[in-house]
Structures are given as structure tokens and as C-alpha cells.
Chains A and B, each alone.
Chain A
Amino acid sequence: GEDVEQSLFLSVREGDSSVINCTYTDSSSTYLYWYKQEPGAGLQLLTYIFSNMDMKQDQRLTVLLNKKDKHLSLRIADTQTGDSAIYFCAENRVSSGSARQLTFGSGTQLTVLP
């Protein structure tokens, strides 16, 4: 398909782990990204992974990449109420010639319950 796909909603209890999944489209995307957006704000880069990696860990964040299935996931350990936000995955897809553009998923609204 043409769209980067994410589930729309995820609810977790404070202290639990959250896993947000994403299916991207272009096997030649060289970088995959996770951004966070809080209400009324722009996008904050959380982490990214280069396409030749399987996993990247950054404090509470773990990114897993399955290139065969074009599947990307973001795990947030010990989720806190401050993690409540919309999470976007993105790929730097080839658009025309050698040009690339960031293509985003629809975003997953993460709600952390106390």
C-alpha cells in the first residue's frame, strides 16, 4: 500500500510498557523515525533507526525494525502520564528521482491511565 499505517489508539496503565506499531511502505527508505506531538505543539523527534539496524535502545525507548515485513515498533518502558501524546512513525521515502521526503503515518494516540 501507499500509506504508512499505525493503529489509532493505545491505552496503558502508568508503569506498564507501551508498544506502538507501524508498517511502512518503501523498502529503500534509509531512515525510520518516531516523533511525538503534544497538544498544540509541533513534532518532537524521539528517536530514529538506520535501515541496516534491527534494534536501537535509548533510555526508556526501544525501536525494533523488521525490514522483511517493513514493520517498525516503538516500546516505551515504565510509561508515565507525561508520555500521553500522539506518536508518529515516518520514513524518508523516495519520492522522485533521487529526492526523498518524510512520509508520516496517521499517528497513534497514547493515553496513559493513572
Chain B
Amino acid sequence: KAGVTQTPRYLIKTRGQQVTLSCSPISGHRSVSWYQQTPGQGLQFLFEYFSETQRNKGNFPGRFSGRQFSNSRSEMNVSTLELGDSALYLCASSLGGTATGETQYFGPGTRLLVL
């Protein structure tokens, strides 16, 4: 079974631009969660989607948004990029999501650099 895939793997943007990251979960998984990893703040939860509905959201500004499609693929969007948005963005998929405690499988991440 193929693992979680994320595209693109690397991205360079400038301040003020917007960016869209994509995540394809493991086949059959209906939950996708997104995390931001930075050296200063560590791993922080962004949001979780299950069956096209946002189930939970972390403490991030409204510039961070996401969606999930009927095939469970998910995208996250960051508008009006700031330097502090430079990070590794990880997505994880699971069958039922964090509420059930099921194992989350992580993708390799998208490394975003904002100049």
C-alpha cells in the first residue's frame, strides 16, 4: 500500500504571496491532519479533516485554511505569507482520526521557505 504523499516537497515563496500544499492519504484513510514544524515552536497541530469536514482546528490565524475532497485528498492554503511561515508542513492520515486514537501515518513533508 502506498504511503502518505505530499507535494511539492520543497517550495520557495516571497512575503505576501499565497501557497497551496497537497496531501494524498493512504488508500482507505478518511482522516487527514496537518502540522507545522519549526525549530522554535516544534510540532504544532493545524487542523484535521474527516470526510470533507473540518473536525478540529489548532491555534493558527485565519490565513491558514484547508479543505478535503471526496477522495480524501487534502490541501492546505496559506495566504499573505510571512517570514515566520517558513517551516516543514506535515500531513498525516488515519482511518478514523485522533478521536479514535488510531495510528496516524505521516508523509515526508513539504518544506516551505518564505523570503
Contacts and interface: CB of A to CB of B under 8 A. Distances in A.
B33 A102 contact: yes
Sort chain A's interface into a size bin: 20 to 34
Contacts, number: 59
Interface of B, helix, strand, loop or mixed by DSSP: strand
Contacts of A103: 45
Interface string A20-36: 00000000001100010
Sort chain B's interface into a size bin: 20 to 34
A73 to B, nearest CB: 20
Given A95-B56, A102-B45, A104-B42, A30 B101 contact: yes
10 contacts: A35-B106, A41-B108, A42-B4, A45-B104, A45-B105, A50-B101, A101-B33, A101-B45, A102-B33, A102-B104
